[in-house]
Amino acid sequence: MTNRAAGVWGIGSYVPEKILSNFDLEKMVDTSDEWITTRTGIQERRLAAPEQATSDLAYYAADKALADAGVKAEELDLIIVATSSPDHLFPATAALLQERLGAKKAGGFDLSVACSGYIYALAVAAQFVATGLHEKVLVVGAETLSRIVNFEDRGTAILFGDGAGAMVIGPVEAGYGLMGHHLGLDGSGAELLSLPAGGSREPLSEEVLKNKRQYVDMNGKEVYKFAVNIMGDATLKVLETTGLTPEDIDLYVPHQANYRIIEASAKRFNFPMEKVLINIHKYGNVSTATIPLAIDEAYQEGRIKDGDNLLLVAFGGGLSWAASLLRWGGRPEK
Ligand SMILES: CC(C)(COP(=O)(O)OP(=O)(O)OC[C@H]1O[C@@H](n2cnc3c(N)ncnc32)[C@H](O)[C@@H]1OP(=O)(O)O)[C@@H](O)C(=O)NCCC(=O)NCCS
């Protein structure tokens, strides 16, 4: 067994073309652009085309990440798809992606920890690489949340969007990569944010459809309170594990659920807002995809340089939370 550093070899993302603006939503539910913008920071979100499902969005993001890494799909050892809106309960979205990519020798699975899923998936991938079991792991966060949101419910319809982000994780130079993680769950809050029906507890039925139990159900106020505290607590845990201070963090990468939650958690550590990655105004909450989408955008804009410390933090249904310290760079020459 080895214990190697695992980090990012390549990154990519994809959002569907169709934009649903706050003004569009004004025509669908009793809401206003002003309310949504001031309460959440969201101005618009993307919607998958009718023929697109989560594995399609995942494919486009993965293809870009592989190209960026200089890795062929056939070289992949493992595919992890973090998602809250898989194509099916089974087969795994990872299997559909594996076939479409032509990743012939890869194993794979879906990982379900709601919006905390991407950071969990990175932690899992890092373990496989660290032990030497795998060399090249594709980690995707992909969502078509528009299929599980009730567009008649203003409490949730305004928040969510579709998109995908992906990274190829492999061995990197010592001192770079995924340096530490903190993963948490509190199932006592399971009912605060859930997709009640469609699983074994409440299989689909006419009753389910009539009561719209196949859509996201959320207690926004309670989730908000939980989020503000846990984002800070999880950040603190990762700073402690890695021996870093808030001043050592170059970029803070919070889950994009609500601008006010992001601002409150950044304030706790005096992270200046210029160091906080924010794209919630364009995409809303894309669950597992928010973190890789935000990092990819910053990377494309040249905002990330080798050696930068990125602090990733997310929360979501479960209730769940996760944070990770990613030191950018150290990947082998292509
Ligand atoms: C959902 C959320 C934006 C609501 O914002 P809020 O400031 O808590 O708003 P409240 O629920 O207190 O509602 C305030 C008022 O606005 C109304 N309101 C709620 N949604 C509205 C909407 N979309 N448009 C207009 N008015 C709305 C409420 O009915 C309430 O009216 P009242 O005062 O007359 O009763 C906020 O609670 C939130 O972001 N929670 C976290 C959700 C989250 O992150 N989920 C994903 C986790 S991964």
Q: Give the rounded percent of residues in the chain with a pLDDT score beyond 70.
A: 99
Q: What is the DSSP letter of 301?
A: T
Ligand 1 atom nearest the C-alpha of 260 is 39
**What is the Cα–Cα distance from 249 to 246, expressed in whole angstroms?**
5
Identify whether the C-beta of residue 13 lies closer than 8 Å to the C-beta of residue 167.
Answer: no
Task: Please tell me the predicted confidence (pLDDT) of residue 3.
Answer: 82
285 has catalytic annotation: yes
Residue with tokens 């003004």: 23
C-alpha radius of gyration, the chain, whole number: 19
Q: Which letter, b or e, does each residue of 72-101 get, where b requires 16 or more Cβ atoms within 10 Å of its Cβ?
A: ebebbbbbbbbbbbbbeeeebbbbbbbeeb
The Cα-based distances of 262 to 40, 92, 102, 251 in angstroms read: 10, 32, 38, 13
Given a contact cutoff of 8 angstroms between Cβ atoms, the answer to whether 175 and 71 are in contact is: no
Query: Domains plus CATH for the chain?
Result: 5-175 (3.40.47.10), 179-327 (3.40.47.10)
The pLDDT tens digits of the residues spanning 85-131 come to 999 999 999 999 999 999 999 999 999 999 999 999 999 999 999 99
pLDDT of 1 strictly over 50: no
Mean pLDDT for the stretch of residues 135-153:
98
The closest residue, in CA terms, to atom 5 on ligand 1 is 39
d(CA 131, CA 138): 16
- Ligand 1 contact via 223 beta carbon (within 6 Å): yes
Distance 155 CA to ligand 1 centre (A): 6
Pairing of strands 251-254, 309-316: parallel
Pairing state of beta strands 320-327 and 193-194?
A: unpaired
Q: How far apart are the C-alpha atoms of 318 and 325, rounded to whole Å?
A: 22
Per the prediction, the chain carries an average pLDDT of: 97
Nearest CA to ligand 1 atom 1: 220
Distance 329 CA to ligand 1 centre (A): 40
Give the separation between CA 249 and CA 228, rounded to whole angstroms.
19
Q: Decide if pLDDT at 242 tops 50.
A: yes
Distance CA 287, CA 22 (A): 19
Q: Out of 22, 182, 255, 258, pick the active-site residue.
A: 255
Distances in Å between the alpha carbon of 110 and those of 70, 148, 215?
24, 18, 20
Task: Tell me the C-alpha to C-alpha distance, in Å, between residue 27 and each of 4, 22, 31, 33, 299.
Answer: 53, 9, 8, 11, 36
Mean pLDDT across 253-270: 97
DSSP secondary structure, 242-275, as one string: HT--GGG-SEEEE--S-HHHHHHHHHHTT--GGG
Contact indicator for 121, 111 with CB cutoff of 8 Å: yes
Of 21, 37, 39, the residue with max ligand 1 atoms within 8 A of its CB, to mutate for a pocket test, comes to: 39
Burial status of residue 231 (CB atoms within 10 A of its CB: 0-12, 13-18, 19 or more): buried
Active-site entry in 22, 115, 134, 181: 115
CA dist., res. 69 & res. 333, Å (int): 10
Mean pLDDT for 5-31 is 97
Give me ligand 1 centre to Cα 220, in Å. 6
Backbone angles phi, psi at 44, to 5 degrees: -155, 165
Q: Known catalytic residue: 115?
A: yes
Angle between helical axes of 33-40 and 259-268 (0-180°, round to 10) = 20
Average pLDDT of 327-334? 90
Cβ atoms of residues 316 and 287 within 8 Å: yes
User: 221 C-alpha to center of ligand 1: Å?
Assistant: 7
Please report the atom of ligand 1 found closest to the CA of residue 314: 48
Residue 2: pLDDT band by 50, 70, 90 thresholds? low
CA distance 189 to 289: 23
Pocket flag, ligand 1, residue 35 (CB < 6 Å):
yes
In this predicted structure, the answer to whether residue 28 has a pLDDT above a threshold of 60 is yes
Task: Check if 154 has its Cβ closer than 6 Å to any atom of ligand 1.
Answer: yes
The answer to whether residues 145 and 286 touch, using CB atoms and an 8 Å cutoff, is yes
Residue 55 clears pLDDT 80, i.e. is over it: yes
Distances 310 to 141, 233, 248, 264, 276 between C-alpha atoms, Å: 18, 17, 9, 18, 10
Taking only the tens place, the pLDDT of each residue in 295-318 is 999 999 999 999 999 999 999 999
